Amino acid sequence: MKSLESHLIQYALYHRDNRNIRTHLLGVPLIVLSVILLTFIPLFVISGIQVMLSDLLITAASLYYVYLSPRLGVIMLCMLVLGNLLAMQLYMQFIHTTTPVSIFYFSGLGVFLFGWVVQFIGHYYEGKKPAFVDDLIGLLIGPLFVLVEILFKFGFMKGLEQSIVAQAGPYRN
């Protein structure tokens, strides 16, 4: 299995233009949130606790992230759980009103589509297709890429950033 660094270098090859990276800072979190919203579907109950499809996806993704990097994996888990709590809050508001729950899911679909439009605008500037077109694992690496780009901006993980820049090339404006 590839290392965190290898995945991020591969992903970075498709993301060197700063305008593209900025669109990802908005688009990727919107897509992740929308996937949580769209998968906030009750599956079963264990000991009185309702388990949602989003819970299972968050668990699987978080285990993968922790495998790649325990520290980043825990940060991603926290972010995903916050997204799930937001989804639960929104879902509860819908089921306690006369508004059909389908509006909740249509809203998630709208956020999903908007997030992808933002992504494709960024890739227009980049002049390259999205990374997931060549490797579907890019769909899981995208959120990690956004996290590390934010950490880089705050001066963290400089060694990883230098390695990525050395392998994928410098940032472009």
DSSP one-letter string for 84-127: HHHHHHHHHHHHTSSS-HHHHHHHHHHHHHHHHHHHHHHHHHHT
- 52 pLDDT higher than 80: yes
Residue 154 — φ and ψ, nearest 5°?
-95, 10
Residue 17 lies in a domain: yes
- What pLDDT does 18 receive? 96
Residue 172 lies in a domain: no
Are 104 and 172 in contact by the 8 Å Cβ rule? The answer is: no
Residue 170 lies in a domain: no
Per-residue pLDDT band for 16 (boundaries 50, 70, 90) equals very high
Are 129 and 120 in contact by the 8 Å Cβ rule? The answer is: no
pLDDT digits (tens, 9 = 90+) for 124-158: 999 998 888 888 899 999 999 999 999 999 999 99
Tokens of 37: 């919203």
User: What kind and span of H or E run contains 35?
Assistant: helix 18-38
Please give the residue range of the domain that contains residue 139.
4-165
- Tell me what percent of the residues of the chain surpass a pLDDT of 70: 100
Residue 81 lies in a domain: yes
pLDDT digits (tens, 9 = 90+) for 55-106: 999 999 999 999 999 999 999 999 999 999 999 999 998 888 888 888 999 9
CA distance 11 to 144: 10
Residue 142 lies in a domain: yes
Residue 152 lies in a domain: yes
- Any idea what DSSP says for residue 133? G
CA distance 32 to 44: 23
Residue 143 lies in a domain: yes
The tally of domains found in the chain comes to 1
CA distance 172 to 113: 27
Tokens of 35: 């996937």
